[in-house]
Every structure is written in structure tokens, then in C-alpha cells.
């Protein structure tokens, strides 16, 4: 394709070609390194043997069947979904509001506040987990679903804010002025112009928050209480007793769900410059 | 009560941090007028317009629309509409919804909206694009939609900030005429911001020439071109020859200025100039003519420094003193009557006294 368009490309010297092959090979290897364990995990979730490693004993869906009738896993899944949905909902609202405030207004102490907002992204999970645990113990909130939700909101807000702000930064303020010029008051301007144009960014942020909540282990592990076990925690406790193909199946399902969510989120963010018309 | 103006600015000033963008401007814009704000980049045109629209609040002074003081009224409470330079069409709405937006906000009935939007689209000759999105239109079409979206609200005053700025030259020329015709048809007051002097001259009933936040000259295009109030205006609009000198003689009929203390130039008497005052004489190149001997009232001998052929015109640069040269534009009529001169020829430059202006600032 490009070769036809660009005659320069045909004359690429040999040593550059070698360079390109090495680069390509290098890239491929990185992917193999990253995804080989995942692929093996998925393959063995279809293996008709009680042991996760070793021989291939034929194709089966039994582990997936077992998964769906397992009471404990069902309960963990319900916990996970409940916690993620609530945390996503709350953090999307706060994250959007905070990004609007940061992008639109100047106030005293904006700089440090801005930096603090992104701290949860940089800070190690374990540090945040310990801090949150100490905090809950100090203010005497019993550990359980509530504390997990609060913790998830605490880190989700940062991610939502980053995604929504990226969208806001490319927002043409003349559009809001035009709405005001056409008799829309502040609320109507937000309702009919700002919000619909921000929507892809908000949805992308929400999906990211949901994915992160659903997958989080460290922070959840520290802030969970009796009866509030989420899916990742459940997997961990199962693994402690020995890995079974059932865990492979569960991991594969979670992986697929996360993957779809991330793809959707990226797609929403890319559907940029207000051209998205799925509204 | 005095005449009611469509828009009146009384001692309006706007300061941003350290920058004085608009400096004590007073303007009166008449009903139904095509009024232009003209000036170089950064002179405060946009800021002035935005203060009328309510997007910027004056640091001091008053903006009146239809005789009413606007104070700190937000844009959505002012009876004016704006055509933005970037058009600012809502990208997530269809063209129909864009044009209908103002009426929807005013809660006009659905059936009336439909009828008026269709009328409006017809007026701007884009009846069949209602269902498209803005990014499916060309720049010129978007420009018309922006116009339709503003005009449909029947504002008292329409504010336009360089609305043709993004169009190519040919389309721009066509749209200038179209806009002017449209303005006359709908009879709405237009306040038009531009830095293109030719555009302002072609379209406006009156022009305010601005520089550094001040209005330097406010008049009809003809007056501004023929009798610019000061050196900046003469220089900014069209091309002008400047000659420096002192007033050497004064009488009822003529003022004489000794250009570079040597060449006496007669002018019509103006305002109060005093003997010996340092002044500038301004005269446009197309008002001058070059001939072998004296032909006009004002006559100055000179030598041709340069001859430039521009097709429609021939341009001579003529030296009249050590310091001063004048540009002369002769129409290229061709044929026998046209006498061509060449570099080094000793000639006479002639013009009529009424065509030159005497500038004191
Ligand atoms: N929001 C603002 N904050 C600070 N300074 C501003 C702001 N808006 C305008 N200015 C300054 O005020 C002055 C006038 O600006 P304005 O936009 O009115 O110029 P303009 O005549 O419209 O110029 P142009 O032809 O380039 O559009 C400029 O010096 C500009 O830098
Ligand atoms: Mg401007």
C-alpha cells in the first residue's frame, strides 16, 4: 500500500530492512512473553483432566459448568458486581465534576489539589490499601462491602477524572458560548451541549473504573470483611488450596469480560471530536 | 428622549490583567445599519463585540441595546445573536436541530419551529441539508448555517466576528455581497468585525476604525477613505502618500504646507491649523497623475525613480525632494493617449487640492 504511494519506500537500504525485521521480531516476542501464560491458562480451562498442568486429555466444558453451579463463586460474583457498579456510579459523578472544576475554574490552591487528585494512580496499591485499612479502623467503620466500595471510589475517581479531562481539554468553549447566545441558561447549556459532547469521555471513564474495580485485589483484600469476598479474593483463597481447572475457567471468563470492557472504553475515547452519534 | 439607537456604548473600557483591550469607547449604532469594526489584529474589535453580546463584562462604562442598559446581563438574556468566527455549530446535532436550537430554548411550538427552520434554510439556500451533521457540510455551507441559526431568532442586532475569515478569497467575495443583500432584506442591524479594509468598505454603511482599544475614526466608508481623520486611518485603509512639512501660508481659500521646507503644497483650509505648525499631507496614489508639463492646480516637479507595471495600472515612484517620494497610480488605458515615462524622466505630478488631506496627528 504505502509502497505504491511512496516511491522512497522501495529504495530502503538493506541494513534498514534488517533493522525492521529485528524490530518486528522483538515486538512479536514481547507479545508472546505477555500473552503466552494467558493463552496456556485458557487452553487448560478446556482440558478434561483434574490437573492444570501436563497432558492434554481432550476437550471439555465441564469446568465452566461447575463454575456456574458453584454457590460460593456465585456469591463472590454478586458481591463483585454490586461493589463495582456502586463504586463506578459514584466515582463517575465525582470524577466528572472534579474534572469540570479543574478544567474550567481557577481557584486558590489548584495546583497541589490537581497533583493530589492523581496520586492514587501513582501510589503503590499496597500503600493505599494499608492507609485505607488504618483509616477505617481509626474511624471505626466495620470492614465489609461498604469499606470496599469507599476504597474503590477513592481510586476510581482519579481514573475517571483523567479520562474526562482529556475529553474536556479538546472541547471548544465557543460551543458553550453559542448555546448561551441562543438563550440556553447555564443548566440548559450543560444539558444540551456540554454533557452530550462529554458523554463518550464519561462513559469511557466509567468503563475503566468498572474494570479496575472488578479486577482489584490488593486494596480489596485489605478492606474486606467477613461475607464481602469478591471474585478475585475468592480465586485467591481457592488457589491457596491448590489450583484446579475450575480456576482456569473462572480466570478465563474474567479475562474476557475485562478485555471487552477495555476495548469498549478505548473505542469510546477514540470516537473523539464529538462525531460519535450513538447518543 | 433622544434618538433611540440599536446599540450604544458609553465610555466602555475593558482591561484584562495588565492589557487594556478596549479604552473608553463610545459608539452609537443606528437601527438597521450595517456597522463595521475595523482594525489591525489585537486592537480590541472582538472584545468590543463580546461586550455587546454579554460574553465579556466591561470594566467600566455602559452597553445599551435598544435603549436598555445591559449591566451584567448574561448572553441568554440579551436580544442579540452572534455568528462566531469558528461557526461553533453543535457537532452532535443535525443541521435542523442546530438552526432550531434558539427557538427550542424559547419553547416555541414544534409546528412553528419546523416551519420557521425550513423557511430559514430556504433563505440561506440550503433547504436539503437539514438532516446532515455539521461536519458533512463545506466551510461556506457551515457559514450559512451559522447565519441561519442566529437570524431565525429575529434578533434586534446580529453580531458577526470575522464570519468570512475561514473562507477562500473567491467564496469570500461572493459571500460579502450575499451577506449585504441578506442584511438589507431582513433589515436587522449588523455589527461586523473584520480586519479586512476592503471588506469593510464594500459592505458597511458606517465603519469604526480602531487601534489599540480606541476608535480613531467613525464615518461612512467614503468619508473614511477620502478624508481620513488621522495618519493611522489614512495608512490602514488603502494606500496613501505622506508628506511632512510646516504650514507656511494661510488664507481664506488655501493652506500652504512647505513639504520638507521646500515644496509648497496647497490644500483646502481645514479646522484650526497655525502658521508654522508641523503637519502631514496625505494623498492617495490614484488621485495623482504624471504629465510632461503642468496640468492640474497642484503641481509639483519631480523625477521618476521607478516604474512598476501591474497590468491594470502603471505605478510610478516619483522623487519630489531629497526625503520624499510619491507613489502614483495611472490606469493602464493603453492606446495613443497614454504616455509612458521611464526612469530618470523629469515630470510634473498634478492633483486637485480637494483630494489631499491635512493631518495633524
Ligand atoms: N481573555 C483575555 N485575557 C487576556 N487578554 C485578552 C483576552 N482577550 C483579549 N485579550 C487581549 O486584548 C487585546 C484585544 O483583543 P481582541 O481579541 O479584542 O483583538 P481583535 O481586535 O479582535 O484582534 P484579532 O483581529 O486578532 O481578532 C489583545 O491584546 C488581547 O491579547
Ligand atoms: Mg478578533
Give percent above pLDDT 70 in chain B.
98
Q: Is A181's Cβ below 8 Å from some Cβ in B?
A: yes
Q: Which of A255-269, B216-230, B283-297 has the highest average model confidence (pLDDT)?
A: B216-230
Residue B219 three-state SS: strand
pLDDT band at B206 (very low <50, low <70, confident <90, very high): very high
Residue B193 CA: which ligand 1 atom is closest? 22
> A276 contacts in B (CB within 8 Å)?
92
Environment class of residue B27 by beta-carbon count within 10 Å: exposed (0-12), middle (13-18) or buried (19+)?
buried
Say if residue B158's pLDDT is above 90: yes
| Distance separating alpha carbons of residues B144 and B175, to the nearest angstrom | 9
Query: In the predicted model, what is the mean pLDDT of chain B?
Result: 91
Q: Is A90's Cβ below 8 Å from some Cβ in B?
A: no
- Alpha carbon of B22 to ligand 1 centroid (Å): 9
B43 lines ligand 1 (CB under 6 A): yes
Q: Is A273's Cβ below 8 Å from some Cβ in B?
A: yes
Say if residue A177's pLDDT is above 50: yes
Is A24 or B212 the better-scoring residue by pLDDT? B212
| Distance separating alpha carbons of residues B100 and B94, to the nearest angstrom | 10
pLDDT at A118: 86
Using one digit for the tens of pLDDT, what is the confidence trace for B53-99?
Answer: 999 999 999 999 999 999 999 999 999 999 998 899 999 999 999 99
DSSP E strands in chain B: the ranges are 7-16, 19-29, 34-38, 60-65, 68-69, 80-83, 157-161, 189-194, 206-211, 214-219, 241-250, 255-259, 263-267, 278-283, 289-291, 298-309, 313-319, 325-331, 346-351, 357-359
Using one digit for the tens of pLDDT, what is the confidence trace for A3-19?
Answer: 444 545 556 667 777 88
DSSP 8-class letter at B240:
-
Q: Which helix (H) or strand (E) holds B235?
A: helix B231-236
Average pLDDT value for residue range B177-189: 91
Give percent above pLDDT 90 in chain A.
37
For an interface test with B, the pick among A174, A175, A176, A182 (most B C-beta atoms closer than 10 Å) comes out as A182
Q: Which helix (H) or strand (E) holds A78?
A: helix A71-104
Residue B30 three-state SS: coil
Using one digit for the tens of pLDDT, what is the confidence trace for B311-344?
Answer: 888 899 999 998 899 999 988 877 655 568 889 9
- Alpha carbon of B45 to ligand 2 centroid (Å): 6
Say if residue B108's pLDDT is above 90: yes
DSSP B55-92: SS--SEEEEEETTEE-TT--GGGSSEEEE-TT----TT
Ligand number nearest CA of B18 is: 1
Q: Is A174's Cβ below 8 Å from some Cβ in B?
A: yes
The answer to whether B90 contacts A179, with C-beta atoms less than 8 Å apart, is yes
pLDDT at A273: 42
Q: Could you tell which of B15, B43, B85 is best to mutate to test the pocket of ligand 1, judged by most ligand atoms within 8 Å of the CB?
A: B43
Measured between CB atoms, which of A179, A192, A275 is closest to B91? A275
Q: Is A235's Cβ below 8 Å from some Cβ in B?
A: no
- Alpha carbon of B179 to ligand 1 centroid (Å): 25
pLDDT at A2: 41
Residues bordering ligand 2, an ion, CB closer than 5 Å:
B 46
pLDDT at A60: 85
pLDDT at B337: 53
Using one digit for the tens of pLDDT, what is the confidence trace for A121-171?
Answer: 889 999 999 999 999 999 999 999 999 999 999 999 999 999 999 889 888
Find the range with the poorest average confidence among A134-143, A251-260, B138-147: A251-260
pLDDT at A57: 82
Q: Is A279's Cβ below 8 Å from some Cβ in B?
A: yes
List the residue whose alpha carbon is closest to atom 8 of ligand 1. B47
Question: In Å, what is the CA distance from A261 to each residue of A87, A148, A267?
Answer: 16, 21, 10
Q: How many CB atoms lie within 10 A of CB B218?
A: 20
**Residue in chain A nearest B158 by alpha carbon:** A181
pLDDT at B107: 94
pLDDT at A10: 54
ipTM of the complex: 0.82
- Alpha carbon of B234 to ligand 1 centroid (Å): 23
CB B215 within 8 A of CB B224: no
List the residue whose alpha carbon is closest to atom 7 of ligand 1. B16
List the residue whose alpha carbon is closest to atom 28 of ligand 1. B42
Say if residue B6's pLDDT is above 70: yes
Average pLDDT value for residue range B17-43: 94
List the residue whose alpha carbon is closest to atom 6 of ligand 1. B16
Measured CB to CB, residues of chain B less than 8 Å from chain A are 53-55, 74-76, 81-82, 84, 86, 88-92, 101-102, 105-106, 133, 135, 149-150, 153
pLDDT at A271: 58
B70 lines ligand 1 (CB under 6 A): no
Residue B85 CA: which ligand 1 atom is closest? 27
Residue B39 CA: which ligand 1 atom is closest? 21
Burial A211-244 (b: 16+ CB within 10 A, else e): bbbbbbeebbbbbbeeebbbbbbbbeebeeeebb
Radius of gyration of chain B (CA): 25
Question: Domains in chain A and their CATH numbers?
Answer: 65-270 (1.10.3720.10)
- Alpha carbon of B165 to ligand 2 centroid (Å): 10
Long-range contacts of A78-85 (CB under 8 A, 24+ apart): A79/A145, A79/A228, A79/A229, A79/A230, A79/A231, A80/A214, A80/A230, A80/A231, A80/A232, A81/A214, A82/A145, A83/A145, A83/A148, A83/A149, A83/A152, A83/A213, A83/A220, A83/A228, A83/A230, A84/A152, A84/A210, A84/A213, A84/A214, A85/A210
B40 lines ligand 1 (CB under 6 A): no
Find the range with the poorest average confidence among A5-19, A192-206, A251-265, B282-296: A5-19
For A179, phi then psi, to 5°, come to -65, -45
Q: Which of A29-43, A56-70, A243-257, B107-121 has the highest average model confidence (pLDDT)?
A: B107-121
- Alpha carbon of B328 to ligand 2 centroid (Å): 34
Find the range with the poorest average confidence among A130-134, B31-35, B149-153, B353-357: B353-357
Average pLDDT value for residue range B227-249: 92
The answer to whether A183 contacts B153, with C-beta atoms less than 8 Å apart, is yes
pLDDT at B1: 42
Q: Is A271's Cβ below 8 Å from some Cβ in B?
A: no
**Residue in chain B nearest A194 by alpha carbon:** B90
Q: Closest Cα partner for B257 from B316, B298, B295, B288?
A: B298
pLDDT band at A223 (very low <50, low <70, confident <90, very high): very high
| Distance separating alpha carbons of residues B277 and B230, to the nearest angstrom | 16
Question: In Å, what is the CA distance from B75 to each residue of A186, B52, B78, B82, B159?
Answer: 10, 9, 5, 10, 12
List the residue whose alpha carbon is closest to atom 30 of ligand 1. B42
Stated pTM of the model: 0.79
The answer to whether A177 contacts B86, with C-beta atoms less than 8 Å apart, is no
Question: In Å, what is the CA distance from A17 to each residue of A6, A23, A27, B127?
Answer: 16, 10, 15, 56
Across the beta sheet with B34-38, the strand order is B80-83, B157-161, B189-194, B34-38, B206-211, B214-219
Amino acid at each position: 500500500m504505502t509502497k505504491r504511494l511512496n516511491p522512497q519506500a522501495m529504495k530502503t537500504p538493506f541494513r534498514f530492512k534488517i533493522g525492521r525485521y529485528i524490530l518486528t521480531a522483538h515486538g512479536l516476542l514481547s507479545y508472546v512473553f505477555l500473552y503466552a501464560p494467558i493463552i496456556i491458562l485458557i487452553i487448560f480451562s478446556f482440558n478434561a483432566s483434574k490437573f492444570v498442568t501436563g497432558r492434554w486429555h481432550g476437550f471439555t466444558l465441564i469446568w465452566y459448568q461447575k463454575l456456574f453451579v458453584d454457590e460460593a463463586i456465585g456469591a463472590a460474583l454478586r458481591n463483585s458486581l454490586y461493589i463495582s457498579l456502586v463504586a463506578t456510579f459514584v466515582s463517575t459523578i465525582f470524577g466528572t465534576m472534579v474534572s469540570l472544576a479543574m478544567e474550567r475554574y481557577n481557584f486558590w490552591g489548584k495546583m497541589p489539589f490537581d497533583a493530589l487528585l492523581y496520586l492514587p494512580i501513582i501510589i503503590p496499591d499496597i500503600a493505599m490499601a494499608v492507609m485505607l485499612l488504618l483509616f477505617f479502623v481509626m474511624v471505626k467503620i466495620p470492614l465489609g462491602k461498604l469499606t470496599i466500595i469507599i476504597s474503590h471510589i477513592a481510586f476510581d475517581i482519579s481514573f475517571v477524572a483523567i479520562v474526562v479531562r482529556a475529553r474536556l481539554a479538546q472541547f471548544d468553549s465557543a460551543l458553550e458560548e453559542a448555546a448561551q447566545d441562543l438563550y440556553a441558561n447555564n443548566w440548559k447549556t450543560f444539558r444540551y451541549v456540554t454533557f452530550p459532547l462529554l458523554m463518550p469521555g464519561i462513559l469511557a471513564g466509567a468503563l475503566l473504573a468498572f474494570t479496575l474495580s472488578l479486577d482489584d485485589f490488593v486494596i480489596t483484600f485489605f478492606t474486606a470483611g467477613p461475607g464481602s469476598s469478591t471474585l478475585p479474593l475468592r480465586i485467591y483463597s481457592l488457589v491457596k488450596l491448590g489450583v484446579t481447572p475450575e480456576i482456569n475457567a473462572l480466570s478465563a471468563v474474567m479475562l474476557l469480560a475485562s478485555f471487552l470492557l477495555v476495548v469498549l472504553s478505548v473505542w469510546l475515547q477514540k470516537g473523539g471530536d464529538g462525531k460519535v452519534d450513538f447518543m | 428622549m433622544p434618538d433611540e439607537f440599536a446599540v450604544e456604548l458609553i465610555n466602555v473600557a475593558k482591561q484584562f490583567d495588565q492589557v487594556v483591550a478596549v479604552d473608553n469607547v463610545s459608539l452609537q449604532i443606528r437601527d438597521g445599519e450595517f456597522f463595521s469594526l475595523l482594525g489591525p489584529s489585537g486592537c480590541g474589535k472582538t472584545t468590543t463585540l463580546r461586550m455587546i453580546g454579554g460574553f465579556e463584562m466591561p470594566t467600566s462604562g455602559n452597553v445599551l441595546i435598544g435603549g436598555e442598559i445591559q449591566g451584567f446581563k448574561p448572553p441568554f438574556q440579551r436580544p442579540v445573536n452572534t455568528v462566531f468566527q469558528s461557526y461553533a455549530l453543535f457537532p452532535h446535532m443535525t443541521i435542523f436541530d442546530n438552526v432550531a436550537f434558539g427557538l427550542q430554548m424559547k419553547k416555541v411550538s414544534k409546528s412553528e419551529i419546523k416551519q420557521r427552520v425550513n423557511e430559514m434554510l430556504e433563505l440561506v439556500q440550503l433547504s436539503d441539508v437539514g438532516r446532515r451533521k455539521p461536519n458533512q457540510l463545506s466551510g461556506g455551507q457551515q457559514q450559512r448555517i451559522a447565519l441561519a441559526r442566529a437570524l431565525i431568532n429575529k434578533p434586534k442586532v446580529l453580531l458577526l466576528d470575522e464570519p468570512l475569515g475561514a473562507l477562500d478569497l473567491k467564496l469570500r467575495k461572493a459571500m460579502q455581497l450575499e451577506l449585504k443583500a441578506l442584511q438589507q432584506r431582513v433589515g436587522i442591524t449588523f455589527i461586523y468585525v473584520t480586519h479586512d479594509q476592503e471588506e469593510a468598505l464594500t459592505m458597511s454603511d458606517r465603519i469604526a476604525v480602531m487601534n489599540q482599544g480606541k476608535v480613531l475614526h467613525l464615518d461612512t466608508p467614503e468619508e473614511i477613505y477620502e478624508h481620513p481623520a488621522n495618519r493611522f486611518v489614512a495608512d490602514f485603509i488603502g494606500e496613501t502618500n505622506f508628506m511632512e512639512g510646516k504650514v507656511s501660508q494661510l488664507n481664506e481659500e488655501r493652506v500652504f504646507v512647505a513639504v520638507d521646507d521646500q515644496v509648497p503644497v496647497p490644500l483646502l483650509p481645514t479646522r484650526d491649523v497655525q502658521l508654522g505648525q508641523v503637519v502631514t499631507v496625505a494623498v492617495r496614489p490614484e488621485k495623482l497623475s504624471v504629465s510632461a508639463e503642468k496640468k492640474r492646480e497642484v503641481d509639483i516637479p519631480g523625477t521618476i525613480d521607478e516604474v512598476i507595471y501591474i497590468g491594470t495600472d502603471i505605478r510610478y515612484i516619483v522623487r519630489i525632494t531629497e526625503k520624499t517620494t510619491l507613489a502614483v497610480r495611472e490606469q493602464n488605458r493603453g492606446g495613443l493617449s497614454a504616455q509612458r515615462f521611464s526612469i530618470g524622466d523629469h515630470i510634473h505630478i498634478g492633483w486637485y487640492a480637494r483630494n489631499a488631506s491635512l493631518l495633524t496627528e
